[in-house]
Structure 1
Amino acid sequence: MDHLNPTKLEYYDDMWKFQSTSTLLSDFQGEDGRRALILESTIFHPQGGGQPSDTGFITNSHFKFIVQDVRSKEGIVFHYGFVENSENGVLESELEKVVEVSLNVDEPRRKLNSRLHSAGHLLDVCMRNVGLGHLEQGKGYHFPDGPFVEYKGTVPQNELQSKQKELELRANDLISGGGKISAAILPYDEACKLCGGCLPDYIPKESTPRILKLGNNPGCPCGGTHVSDISEIMSMKVSQMRTKKGLTKVFYNVGS
């Protein structure tokens, strides 16, 4: 794959684009037996950042490729799946020439994943608003089977229940009020300003990070997909909050 350029991530520019076209660059069967397509550009979000991958399909006049999983490695996005109603070898003839393909993302799945991911970042905002801003943001898990955000630091056991209620009330107040959500790739210094004056140490100072903004709140680096307005989260339930071994986990879900 050394000869391939990094995949252009179209969802970076438009998180609400569900159809597009691209150029098929490579088709191969991986060591795990799964077939993969590599494209010049993609609207499919690969699994990462606590967000599950998109699914959907890729087509041209000769085949329909069902996308079951999407992963990124060293800037190259791999679309894993199978050719519908065909033998695996159907694509080889297509690769004798550069072919244009159509991309179709599963819209309901993307919208749910985007709502869950946006709600996770909204939770970060609410943690500051209810006096828990001293906890260091850690990993988030924004999958439908049990989303949560984990923070470094603890909350006294006798405050957990009250803080849980405060978080839920504050989150739903912000959802009711709404506010534009946007993401942009910015120069490092400009990104720092939007994020309250600093960025995490893992972001190189010579880089141009992608920064997410929820309304008028400080921004944060994020590569995922999100709704266009806070109100689209619809509602938020903080189902559990617990502290153990120096970590605090806040479990949540969004309304349907």
Structure 2
Amino acid sequence: MDSHPTKLDYYADMWRLRSESTIVSFLKGDDGRSALVLDSTIFHPQGGGQPADTGFIAVGDQELKFVVEDVRLRDGIVYHYGYVETLAGDGAVESETGKEVRLHVDESRRKLNSRLHSAGHLLDICMKNVGLGLEPGKGYHFPDGPFVEYKGVIPPSEISNKQKELETEANALISKGGEVAVALLPYDEAVEECGGSLPDYIPKESTPRIVKLGTNPGCPCGGTHVHNLSEIISMKVSQIRTKKGVTKVSYTVG
């Protein structure tokens, strides 16, 4: 298979749900699933705490489509996992290498994933705004129980008040609104855009992708987000739990 990295079209345009590409290969993964590899994609692969997009890929002019159930990124290559669905012919995709395809991302799933992801990043901003200088760690932005973990603790006597403060601050920012922007920046510019520092895992020779929510400092992120903070609609901080030096903040969106 061609090892040329897949061009990540969603990196530049997080809100694009339709695009065209060409087939690089059709294969069976190590787990036996069928996988379609393209030269570019608008499908977001699972990663960074965000679930994968789903949808379908229409092949050529035939009554044939590849239903995308899962998407993963490995060594620069995006694998679209799913199955062939056809109304005509034998449904063979193997012979279609180099064929033009049309990509269709499921809109409702992408929008929900983006709202949850943006809400998680908004929570980071709210933590600072209410006087909690805890460093964000793991984020889980799936619909079945989204949360963000922070390094450090909140005293038990303050948890209830801080939970209310976080929710009030989040909804105030959502009501105010603010455009969400994304850019690939030279390292030094990215540092400045993010308030003076970047995580240690980002190489200094890299060009980080920085997402900014409104006028707040940006942060490195590879996922998709809403156009405007108002699209989150509302946010509820459902629980705060502290264990072994880590504070877990669970939330939902309206």
* TM-score, length-scaled by structure 2: 0.96
Deviation, 1:100, is: 0.3
Q: Give the SS at the match of 2:92.
A: helix
2:85·2:91 contact (CA, 8 Å) conserved in 1?
no
CA RMSD of aligned residues (A): 1.3
2:55·2:105 contact (CA, 8 Å) conserved in 1?
yes
1:82·1:88 contact (CA, 8 Å) conserved in 2?
no
Q: Partners of 1:27 and 1:88 in 2: how far apart?
A: 15
Alignment of 1:1-256 (within 5 A): 1=1, 3-60=2-59, 61-62=61-62, 63-85=64-86, 90-95=92-97, 98-133=98-133, 135-255=134-254
What do the CA deviations read for 1:50-84 (whole angstroms, capped 9, x no partner)?
Answer: 00000000012232100000000011100000001
Deviation, 1:31, is: 2.1
1:160·1:241 contact (CA, 8 Å) conserved in 2?
yes
Distance 1:28 1:88, change over 3 A: farther
Q: Partners of 2:93 and 2:56 in 1: how far apart?
A: 15
- Aligned AA (1:81): G
Deviation, 1:94, is: 1.8
Q: Give the SS at the match of 1:197.
A: coil
Q: Partners of 1:85 and 1:184 in 2: how far apart?
A: 39
Structure 2 residue ranges without an equivalent (≥5): none
Q: Give the SS at the match of 1:224.
A: coil
1:27·1:91 contact (CA, 8 Å) conserved in 2?
yes
Q: Partners of 1:17 and 1:210 in 2: how far apart?
A: 17
Alignment coverage as a number of residue pairs: 251
What do the CA deviations read for 1:167-194 (whole angstroms, capped 9, x no partner)?
Answer: 0000000000000101111100000000
Structure 1 residue ranges without an equivalent (≥5): none
Q: Give the SS at the match of 1:90.
A: coil
Q: Give the SS at the match of 2:158.
A: helix
- Aligned AA (1:68): E
Q: Partners of 1:231 and 1:247 in 2: how far apart?
A: 30
Deviation, 1:85, is: 4.2
- Aligned AA (1:110): R
Deviation, 1:5, is: 1.3
Distance 1:30 1:155, change over 3 A: same
Deviation, 1:137, is: 1.0
Deviation, 1:92, is: 2.1
Q: Partners of 2:84 and 2:153 in 1: how far apart?
A: 49
Deviation, 1:30, is: 1.4
Q: Partners of 1:88 and 1:75 in 2: how far apart?
A: 31
- Aligned AA (2:132): L
Deviation, 1:105, is: 0.1
Q: Partners of 1:5 and 1:92 in 2: how far apart?
A: 19
Deviation, 1:93, is: 2.4
Q: Give the SS at the match of 2:15.
A: coil
- Aligned AA (1:24): I
